[in-house]
Structure 1
Amino acid sequence: MRTPEFDDARLDHADVVNDEQLRTLAETGARIRRACLSEPVGSLERADRPRGVLVLGAEARLVRAVLEPVCPVPFLAWPGPALPAWVGPLDLVVSLGGYDAHEWEVACTHEAARRGATLIVAAPEASQLAAAGSSHATTLVPVPQGDSMAAAVAVLELLGRLELGPQVNPGHVADAADLVAQACSPARNLAENPAKNLAIGLAEAVPLVWGGTTLAMRASRRIAEALRRASGRPALAADADELDTLLRAVTPRDPFSDPFESDGDSFPVLVMLDEDKVPARLAEVPRRLSSLADAVGVRVCRISSGEASLTSSDVERYVTLLQYGRYAAAYLRLGLTP
């Protein structure tokens, strides 16, 4: 596949600090803090445990990945387009979204309120989603700017207080986002900026993204989406078996070929997320993928959420991985844009 010419000099240009996408990424921690400090509208009683929990909307699968292992009641991330028939007054429905929520999400939220289900709606107060979920059994978590990440963190913190999930400290999650913003600041040059280096590694490549943990796999899909939008090229997030098949099908790179005389076709690059956090019983998986990549000359790029010995929560690690990937996508776009 033909790719636009990538110019790494653009990444250190003085005007990069004014890039709107980079500014939005840098403000992620602040948006998480604002969402979690917003006073919920309505009260959610803790005494009655719901029969089941259903989550829909943006980042529903993130909430599922965090809650599923510990939630004491059945839990489901719902893909739509209609509300399940079993949802009723004994159940809790969590709706996450912003001003751009899909019509089916708004319709399902309204239907859940009509059936008398307990609702948590994390959305801007003036949004259609907030209006659709209005009822005496609804708790609205106001989310400034409709940021899906901030909404998910605020909901996870609330569900933790309701003993339906693990305890989540929003301040620590916001700090994790701020640390990535500092490391990936446009003021840092190529030599010391991990996101700029990753963007260079992906400049003329088709990314194959793999995550070593459940939340890293979730982050891999979000990162692949960001890379596709940034470059206009394919980017695949997949499990180890699927990537194993793809790597075995790659024609080995000729180490003696002249890269400047290539036909411009893209070559895969394997992006591994938190390979050092893989459970011991699966430790062979990242080693196998790395060996296959090396055998055919596929470059391996790595993103880590920090030392395995650190006591970071799963949500903090997820945000760290996702932000590194999003920053790399933003720099990739800048390098490909004249």
Structure 2
Amino acid sequence: APPQPPTAPGTLWAGLTPLLLLGDKLGLLQAGQSALQALADRLDEVAERCGPAIAPYSNPGKTLAAELAGALPLLWSEGAVAAVAARHWSVTFAALPGRPALAAELPEAMTAHGALLAGGFAAGADPGDFFRDRVEEPEALHTRVVLLREGPPGGDSATVAARDLAYGHDTPVSELEPAEGSSPLEAAAELIATADFAAVYLTLADSDSPWA
């Protein structure tokens, strides 16, 4: 069967909330009605902020897509919810725009991905033969650190060290965390939904994508 174009995130989220409500009523989920309503409200808020009609300067999805264009995202997460979101980002970016994205949890991520900040994917690096003809070759990907948190960094947070490591290698940094006071369910929804919008915008902007 021929490949199908990517589905807009709003379509997925519109069907997810009723399923969660049904699962709660059947006793399959341990989330109360108020928690599920808060989830639905948060997904609506993300859809409003990231929708196609919203200008890039106030649209987190479009902003993130612009920042990640031509980048190899290093998804550094802090917290269990953010770690799940980072893994979702990695899968989604591979499936839609066809871009690699590497997920790892802080503080181990700084060691696991540290070599990428100074190697062939580093900002300004040229990993190949200087004298070869590059006219027909696509632009090389360069690393960009994406810090994903499920809340404001605490006293034992590795966020500052992660920023310092990235900036010390002239690597740009994007940061995303949910609204203050978010429940784990709301935090996961916001991080995941924002990534989905960014992935779709990247897909549509990529002239080499089969969906463009």
Structure-1-length-normalised TM-score: 0.50
What is the aligned-residue RMSD (CA, Å)? 2.9
Q: Relative to structure 1, is the Cα distance of residues 180 and 240 closer, same or farther in structure 2, using a 3 angstrom cutoff? A: same
Query: Within 1, Cα distance between the matches of 2:34 and 2:74?
Result: 31
SS in 2 for 1:302: strand
Shift, 1:243, TM fit: 2.7
- Determine helix, strand or coil for the equivalent of 1:233: coil
CA 1:33 to 1:263, structure 2 compared with 1: closer, same or farther past 3 Å? closer
Q: Are the aligned partners of 1:212 and 1:277 in contact in 2 as well (CA < 8 Å)?
A: no
Structure exhibiting the larger radius of gyration computed from Cα positions: 1
1:301 aligns with 2:179: no
Distance 1:37 1:263 in 2: 46
Point out where structure 1 has 5 or more consecutive residues left out of the alignment: 1-18, 42-140, 142-153, 162-166, 256-260
- Alignment of 1:267 onto 2:133: no
Distance change >3 Å, CA 324–CA 292, structure 1 → 2: same
SS in 1 for 2:117: coil
Of 318, 322, 328, the match for 2:188: 318
1:30 corresponding residue in structure 2: 14
| 2:163 match | 290
Structure 2 unaligned runs (5+)? 126-134
Distance 1:36 1:218, change over 3 A: closer
In structure 2, what is the equivalent of residue 155 of structure 1?
A: 28
Q: For residue 277 of structure 1, what is the aligned residue in structure 2?
A: 152
Describe the shift of the 1:160–1:211 C-alpha distance in structure 2 as closer, same or farther (beyond 3 A): same
Q: Is the Cα–Cα contact under 8 Å of residues 202 and 269 in structure 1 kept in the other structure?
A: yes
**Residue equivalent to 2:40:** 174
SS of equivalent to 1:231: coil
State the shift of 1:277 in Å. 3.0
Contact 2:150 2:184 in 1 (8 A): no
Q: Does 1:21 align with 2:7?
A: yes
Matched residue type, 1:302 = E
Question: Shift of the alpha carbon at 1:188?
Answer: 0.9
In 1, the alpha carbon distance for the partners of 2:69 and 2:99 equals 11
Q: Which residue is 1:57 aligned to?
A: none
- The number of residue pairs the alignment matches comes to 190
Residue number in structure 2 paired with 1:58: none
Aligned to 2:117: 250
Paired amino acid for 1:306: A
Deviations 1:118-152 (A, max 9, x none): xxxxxxxxxxxxxxxxxxxxxxx5xxxxxxxxxxx
Report how far residue 213 of structure 1 moved: 1.4
Cα drift, residue 240 of structure 1: 2.3
- Residue 253 and residue 21 in structure 1: after superposition, are their counterparts in 2 closer, same or farther (change >3 A)? same
Which amino acid is 1:200 matched to? A
Q: Is the 8 A contact 2:50 2:194 kept in 1?
A: yes
Q: What residue in structure 2 maps to residue 226 of structure 1?
A: 92
Deviations 1:292-314 (A, max 9, x none): 1101111111112112xx2x211
Of the three residues 201, 223, 228, the one matched with 2:67 is: 201
TM-score (norm 2): 0.77
Paired residues of 2:61 and 2:194 also in contact (CA < 8 A)? yes
2:51 is paired with a residue of what secondary structure?
coil
Within 2, Cα distance between the matches of 1:313 and 1:249? Answer: 34
Taking a change above 3 Å as real, the CA distance of residues 27 and 290 of structure 1, as seen in their structure-2 partners, is: same
Report if the CA contact (8 A) 1:28-1:177 is conserved: no
Secondary structure of the residue aligned to 1:234 is: coil
Displacement, 1:203?
0.8
The residue type equivalent to 2:169 in the other structure is V
